[in-house]
């Protein structure tokens, strides 16, 4: 049994356990590899070959008629017709016998090979094959009609079932596996009547054009549009004494009627007919050639082969790359699951030059600008807008409330809404990376609080001072853009990136949980309630003091006679309105409100997670599963909003300001730069502005690095300098209007990326849908912030939104290696996933590295709860400068080593030599 072998040499190179004497023998170029070098050439200079759909049909006997019946198919992985012939097997990696590959090699050596045959129909191709066999003396002329008759029988595909079949036939027709049951339905001696043979040309059974079943076959969705077919026909007959073998490559792919299950033009045809008694061997040879045809290397060889020997060389190279599993060591009935691909991460680097980065960003993004709008018109964008909108509006209310408390309402919820809408819309319109979502952040909030307290204690006008800080910070950001300071992000390590993103994710999770715990404090569950003492639970409205009656009447300002009121009959609102007081054990009791809030909170989170994973389930068609997954957030929110309305409890709702006016009375929408502070404040404000610039720069660029990760497969490029420029400009605009400052929000931006991920629609059976990238556009962000600006009619329970917050935090942890390593600590080694770093680094060192990260994260968590949280970006900047110096020292050492090497005594580094040898070998084989 064979599988393609994963190279272990790269591991040995990385661990430094490789020497010249230990170079494997097969690194030397074999004759087969040398031949393939000239066949394949350089992959970068040639067009890629089409994807091949391979179908294997076996000769069967249906009543008194012969027919070809589909038994297996391949796009990338093998699918067999299961026992009973009523369904396809689960796609799996093909396992072949070593003997079948050697027999296939012999078949190609001794059989007929026709390359670039001019073929337009199956009868004409069959005639050419038989004629060549007769010319080469492989068969006698008397077999012409019999072979032609067999090869032109009808093809019954899995989509087309027989009209009637006996129970015995149902039990016998099978998958062509190791028992080869598919051949058991063939009679012992399937003789061909003489009168049929003589009239075989007039009795061709093969359809000349694709049938309705072929044209409507839904399997076409799994096959790329430019795909071509290779057909494998194997069977046994009683009139041959030795095998009849032919391998055909057509000069142009042609649709050969009913030959193929799907209406895909055929490029290759492999025929194997042989004497009776060897059905299992023929079946395995057919599976071998079918597996080879979907192999990346051999399919290239098949397309570019010049003669028989080139095909043989392709098989030899295939044999050179496989390993053998000895019999008895495993169960051959086990079907190997298709592998899953894991993307690797890498960060791009920019060159340093004056304003060069900004110019390159503009040149890079300008050609994509029109597509940034029309590519947003997709149903997936609707789900992304709804999801991110709810996250942004909740964040705006949360930070608006906190800013109001910290600044005595100089900035509040209304300013937060307006600033989010204004800054977010402008940024999405003109930034370099519109997938980034702007929001208020914790360090900026703490800075605002400290700045207000400083202004209040020293008699300085807070809004004017803040305006000058914003202007100085804008100038400093523009200076950083002009000097290409974003170049420093190349020194950002995984340690730094993971620490930052983990901290933000944990903040989201903890804040959501804290708010739910607070709900239990405000609306406690009445655990002391005793049904037998319901008579003791009451709440009465008592009349106010008689001395306050007159004040009460004046306050009411109506002709209502307060002294004549029946205070015991008033409602809670009326009692408070007319100055009464509520007395009783049940006055502050709200039944089940905390429990209902928890149900809404946890239910929203759980349902979102479940529906998000629904696209990997086995229920419903693929498109419906994907649609449910895309709209999982919206469906969860609507479900629990409906539940809240159905129950009717007064759960806390999202409160959106409806009056368009500043939160603090007496301040306008425009801040004047002069007149309230001494002149020296305008100059001295550049000092705190420097700290703000560092906060903005680090928050923005770290979030941008996470968004622009290579594994996200963004095709339109990044825009670090352009992003920072607009963040600085928006700081000035927000400062003049007295609005909060905004910077990239890591968790919401990651959620935006995840909601716009695209996957391949036509993936091979068994192949995981390929991640194609992200739907890069500006429309979703613009719509999110426009909706945020006009949000005045919202009645969504806050626990539902807290559940969305919890989901954002948990989901953003999914792509962080640090979180995976934390889970490894409590996991036995035998159950640990096959992570690449576990192959090269001892487990104890992995745990030590993770422990250091946990300690650092704990320190940052403690700092973020104090005023020292504003120095967090400064700490990251210091770490990055340290990493920069370390890398520069490594470069200097490398240069010194190279100079020593030029002296003649020291030889080239062994690992470099091995890498070059491996690259040369891949180049010879035409592999990328």
| Structure confidence by residue, pLDDT tens digits, 405-422 | 778 888 887 888 888 888
In this structure, of 301-305, 362-366, 493-497, 836-840, the range with the lowest mean pLDDT score is: 493-497
The CA distance from 429 to 427, in Å, is 5
In this structure, of 13-17, 260-264, 913-917, the range with the lowest mean pLDDT score is: 13-17
Residue with tokens 């001019």: 118
The CA distance from 828 to 849, in Å, is 18
Predicted confidence (pLDDT) at residue 284 exceeds the cutoff of 90: yes
Domains in the chain with CATH codes? 52-159+218-321 (3.40.930.10), 380-519+611-759+769-815 (no CATH)
Task: Specify the pLDDT at position 10.
Answer: 38
Higher pLDDT, 540 or 497: 540
* Ramachandran class of 816: left when φ > 0, alpha when ψ lies in -120 to 50, beta otherwise: beta
Predicted confidence (pLDDT) at residue 230 exceeds the cutoff of 90: yes
The CA distance from 893 to 897, in Å, is 6
Helices (H), 632-744: 632-647, 679-684, 686-707, 720-737
Task: Specify the pLDDT at position 928.
Answer: 38
In this structure, of 156-165, 469-478, 714-723, the range with the lowest mean pLDDT score is: 156-165
User: pLDDT tier at 38 (50, 70, 90 boundaries)?
Assistant: low
The CA-based angle 115-119-123, given to 5 degrees, is: 120
Q: Mean per-residue pLDDT for 763-768? A: 64
CA 356 to chain CA centroid, Å, is 32
Q: What is the DSSP string of 512-569?
A: HHHHHHHHHHHS---TT--GGGGGG---EEEP--GGGHHHHHHHHTSS--GGG--GGG
Task: Specify the pLDDT at position 857.
Answer: 79
Higher pLDDT, 765 or 92: 92
User: pLDDT tier at 194 (50, 70, 90 boundaries)?
Assistant: very low
Please provide the average confidence, as pLDDT, over all residues in the chain.
75
Higher pLDDT, 637 or 555: 637
Task: Specify the pLDDT at position 235.
Answer: 93
Q: Mean per-residue pLDDT for 843-868? A: 78
Best mean pLDDT range from 3-12, 19-28, 180-189, 422-431: 422-431
Q: Mean per-residue pLDDT for 43-70? A: 80
Task: Specify the pLDDT at position 907.
Answer: 39
Spell out the residues 6+ positions from residue 893 whose beta carbon is closer than 8 angstroms to its own: none
Task: Specify the pLDDT at position 349.
Answer: 40
The CA distance from 265 to 688, in Å, is 70
Q: Mean per-residue pLDDT for 214-220? A: 79
Q: What stretch of H or E contains 80?
A: strand 78-80
The CA distance from 453 to 459, in Å, is 10
Predicted confidence (pLDDT) at residue 233 exceeds the cutoff of 90: yes
- DSSP-derived letter for residue 770 is P
User: pLDDT tier at 658 (50, 70, 90 boundaries)?
Assistant: low
Best mean pLDDT range from 9-23, 246-260, 372-386, 565-579: 246-260
- Taking a C-beta distance cutoff of 8 angstroms, is the pair 824, 847 a contact? yes
Task: Specify the pLDDT at position 800.
Answer: 81
Residue with tokens 């012999």: 106
Q: Mean per-residue pLDDT for 617-643? A: 80
User: In percent, how much of the chain has pLDDT > 90?
Assistant: 11
User: pLDDT tier at 660 (50, 70, 90 boundaries)?
Assistant: confident
In this structure, of 317-321, 438-442, 640-644, 905-909, the range with the lowest mean pLDDT score is: 905-909
Q: Mean per-residue pLDDT for 610-630? A: 79
Task: Specify the pLDDT at position 105.
Answer: 92
Q: Tokens in use for 800?
A: 């539902």
Task: Specify the pLDDT at position 886.
Answer: 55
Task: Specify the pLDDT at position 591.
Answer: 63
- Taking a C-beta distance cutoff of 8 angstroms, is the pair 272, 243 a contact? yes
Q: Tokens in use for 447?
A: 């800075």
Best mean pLDDT range from 222-231, 267-276, 372-381: 267-276
Predicted confidence (pLDDT) at residue 774 exceeds the cutoff of 60: yes
The CA distance from 300 to 292, in Å, is 10
- Which of 262, 372, 386, 305 has its CA nearest to residue 114? 305
Task: Specify the pLDDT at position 712.
Answer: 80
Task: Specify the pLDDT at position 466.
Answer: 87
User: pLDDT tier at 921 (50, 70, 90 boundaries)?
Assistant: low
In terms of Cβ atoms closer than 10 Å to its own Cβ (0-12, 13-18, 19+), residue 234 is buried
Number of CB atoms found within 10 A of residue 715's CB? 10
pTM: 0.53
Task: Specify the pLDDT at position 124.
Answer: 92
Handedness of CA 78, 83, 87, 89 (dihedral sign): negative
Q: Mean per-residue pLDDT for 41-47? A: 55
Q: Mean per-residue pLDDT for 649-677? A: 77
Which residues, in sequence order, are bridge partners of residue 233? 57, 271
Report the SS3 class of residue 893: helix
Predicted confidence (pLDDT) at residue 198 exceeds the cutoff of 80: no
Task: Specify the pLDDT at position 770.
Answer: 73
Q: Mean per-residue pLDDT for 758-784? A: 77
User: In percent, how much of the chain has pLDDT > 70?
Assistant: 74
Handedness of CA 767, 768, 769, 773 (dihedral sign): negative
User: pLDDT tier at 491 (50, 70, 90 boundaries)?
Assistant: low
Task: Specify the pLDDT at position 192.
Answer: 55
Number of CB atoms found within 10 A of residue 222's CB? 22
Q: Tokens in use for 824?
A: 């490894």
| Structure confidence by residue, pLDDT tens digits, 71-110 | 999 988 899 988 766 788 888 888 888 889 999 999 999 9
Predicted confidence (pLDDT) at residue 190 exceeds the cutoff of 70: no
- Which of 281, 272, 200 has its CA nearest to residue 231? 272
| Structure confidence by residue, pLDDT tens digits, 870-918 | 566 666 665 555 555 555 555 555 555 544 444 444 434 444 444 555 5
Higher pLDDT, 142 or 526: 142
Task: Specify the pLDDT at position 399.
Answer: 76
Residue with tokens 């057909």: 231
End-to-end C-alpha distance for the chain, whole angstroms: 27
- Taking a C-beta distance cutoff of 8 angstroms, is the pair 246, 133 a contact? yes
Task: Specify the pLDDT at position 189.
Answer: 41
């Amino acid at each position: 049994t064979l599988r393609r072998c994963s190279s272990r040499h790269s591991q040995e190179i990385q661990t430094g356990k490789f020497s010249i004497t230990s170079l494997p023998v097969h690194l030397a170029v074999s004759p087969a590899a040398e031949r393939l070098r000239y066949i394949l050439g350089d992959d970068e200079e040639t067009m890629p070959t089409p994807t091949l759909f391979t179908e294997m049909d076996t000769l069967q006997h249906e009543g008194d008629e012969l027919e070809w019946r589909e038994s297996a198919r391949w796009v990338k992985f093998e699918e067999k017709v299961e026992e009973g012939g009523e369904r396809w097997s689960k796609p799996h990696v093909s396992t072949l016998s070593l003997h079948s590959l050697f027999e296939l090699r012999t078949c190609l050596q001794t059989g007929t090979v026709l390359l670039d045959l001019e073929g337009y129909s199956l009868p004409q191709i069959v005639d050419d094959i038989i004629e060549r066999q007769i010319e080469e003396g492989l068969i006698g002329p008397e077999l012409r009609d019999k072979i032609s008759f067999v090869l032109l029988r009808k093809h019954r595909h899995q989509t087309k079932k027989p009209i009637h079949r006996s129970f015995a036939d149902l039990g016998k027709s099978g998958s062509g596996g190791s028992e080869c049951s598919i051949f058991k339905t063939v009679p012992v001696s399937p003789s061909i009547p003489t009168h049929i043979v003589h009239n075989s040309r007039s009795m061709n059974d093969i359809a000349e054009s694709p049938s309705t079943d072929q044209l409507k076959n839904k399997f076409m969705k799994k096959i790329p549009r430019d795909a071509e077919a290779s057909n494998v026909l194997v069977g046994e007959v009683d009139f041959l004494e030795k095998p009849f073998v032919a391998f055909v490559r057509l000069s142009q792919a042609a649709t050969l009627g009913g030959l193929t299950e799907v209406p895909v033009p055929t490029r290759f045809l492999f025929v194997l007919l042989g004497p009776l008694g060897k059905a299992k061997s023929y079946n395995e040879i057919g599976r071998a050639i079918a597996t080879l045809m979907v192999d990346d290397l051999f399919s290239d060889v098949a397309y570019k082969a010049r003669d028989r020997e080139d095909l043989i060389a392709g098989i030899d190279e295939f044999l050179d790359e496989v390993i053998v599993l000895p019999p008895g060591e495993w169960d051959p009935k086990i079907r190997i699951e298709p592998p899953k691909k894991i993307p690797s991460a890498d960060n791009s680097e920019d060159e340093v030059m004056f304003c060069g980065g900004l110019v390159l960003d503009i040149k890079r993004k300008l050609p994509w600008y029109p597509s940034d709008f029309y590519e947003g018109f997709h149903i997936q964008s609707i789900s992304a807008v709804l999801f991110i909108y709810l996250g942004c509006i909740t964040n705006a209310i949360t930070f608006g409330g906190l800013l109001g408390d910290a600044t005595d309402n100089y900035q509040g919820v209304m300013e937060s809404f307006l600033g989010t809408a204004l800054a977010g819309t402008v940024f999405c319109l003109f930034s370099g990376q519109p997938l980034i979502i702007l929001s208020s952040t914790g360090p900026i909030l703490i800075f605002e609080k400290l700045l207000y307290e400083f202004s209040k204690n020293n008699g300085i006008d807070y809004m004017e001072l803040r305006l000058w800080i914003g202007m100085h910070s804008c100038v400093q950001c523009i200076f950083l853009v002009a000097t290409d300071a974003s170049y420093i992000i190349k020194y950002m390590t995984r340690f730094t990136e993971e620490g930052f993103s983990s901290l933000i994710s944990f903040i989201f999770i903890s804040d959501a949980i804290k708010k739910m715990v607070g709900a239990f404090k405000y609306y406690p569950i009445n655990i002391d309630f005793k049904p037998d003492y319901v008579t003791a639970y009451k709440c009465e409205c008592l009349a106010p003091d008689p001395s306050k009656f007159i004040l009460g009447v004046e306050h009411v300002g109506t002709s209502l006679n307060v002294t004549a009121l029946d205070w015991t009959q008033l409602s809670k609102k009326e009692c408070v309105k007319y100055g009464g007081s509520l007395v009783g054990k049940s006055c502050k009791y709200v039944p089940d409100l905390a429990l209902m809030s928890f149900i809404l909170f946890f239910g929203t989170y759980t349902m979102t997670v479940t529906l998000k994973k629904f696209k990997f389930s086995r229920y419903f068609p693929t498109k419906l599963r994907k649609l449910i997954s895309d709209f999982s957030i919206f469906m969860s929110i609507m479900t629990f909003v409906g539940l809240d309305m159905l129950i009717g409890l007064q759960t806390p709702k999202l409160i959106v300001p409806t009056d368009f006016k500043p939160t603090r009375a007496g301040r306008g929408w425009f801040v004047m730069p002069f007149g309230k502070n001494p002149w020296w404040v305008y100059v001295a404000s550049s000092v705190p502005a420097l700290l703000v610039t560092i906060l903005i720069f680090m928050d923005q660029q770290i979030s941008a690095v996470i968004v622009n990760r290579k594994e996200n497969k963004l095709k339109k490029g990044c825009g670090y300098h352009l992003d920072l420029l607009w963040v600085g400009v928006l700081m000035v605009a927000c400062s003049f209007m007295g609005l909060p400052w905004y910077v990239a929000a890591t968790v919401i931006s990651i959620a935006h990326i995840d909601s716009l991920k695209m996957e391949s629609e036509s993936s091979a059976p068994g192949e995981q849908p390929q991640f194609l990238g992200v739907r890069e556009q500006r429309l979703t962000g613009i719509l999110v912030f426009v909706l945020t600006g006009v949000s005045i009619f919202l009645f969504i329970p806050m626990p539902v939104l807290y559940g969305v917050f919890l989901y954002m935090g948990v989901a953003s942890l999914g792509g962080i290696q640090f979180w995976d390593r934390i889970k490894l600590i409590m996991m036995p080694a035998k159950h640990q996933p096959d992570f690449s770093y576990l192959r090269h680094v001892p487990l104890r060192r992995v745990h030590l590295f993770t422990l250091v990260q946990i300690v650092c994260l704990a320190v940052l968590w403690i700092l973020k709860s104090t005023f020292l949280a504003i120095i967090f970006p400064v700490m990251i900047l210091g770490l990055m400068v340290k990493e920069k110096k370390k890398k520069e020292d490594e470069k200097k050492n490398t240069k010194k080593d190279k100079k020593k090497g030029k002296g003649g005594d020291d030889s080239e580094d062994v690992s470099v030599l091995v890498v070059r040898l491996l690259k040369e070998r891949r180049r010879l084989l035409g592999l990328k």
